[in-house]
Amino acid sequence: MNNATVKALCEYLDAEKAGGRPIALVRSRVAVKAVKILFSKLVDATRGID
């Protein structure tokens, strides 16, 4: 886990689980957060191509 994005998502996941939230809710929130982060990175990467 030397990727900063993965580390941030894992920290968020651990914090939510420690808060006592249901795991299905935590996983769905982490998935949404991951999609937003990865999409923004994709947009940033493709801006340099044009």
Predicted structure pTM score? 0.74
Looking at residue 50, its pLDDT comes to: 59
Can you give the pLDDT at residue 20? 92
Structure confidence at residue 13 (pLDDT): 93
What domain count does the chain have?
1
Please give the Cα distance from 33 to 41 (Å, whole number).
Answer: 12
End-to-end CA distance of the chain: 31
**So what's the pLDDT on residue 7?**
92
Please say whether the beta carbons of 16 and 8 come within 8 A.
Answer: no
The 8 Å CB, 24+ separation contacts for 1-4 are none
Range of the domain at 42: 4-47
Residue numbers of the chain with a pLDDT score lower than 70: 1-2, 50
pLDDT value for 18: 94
Return the pLDDT at 4: 87
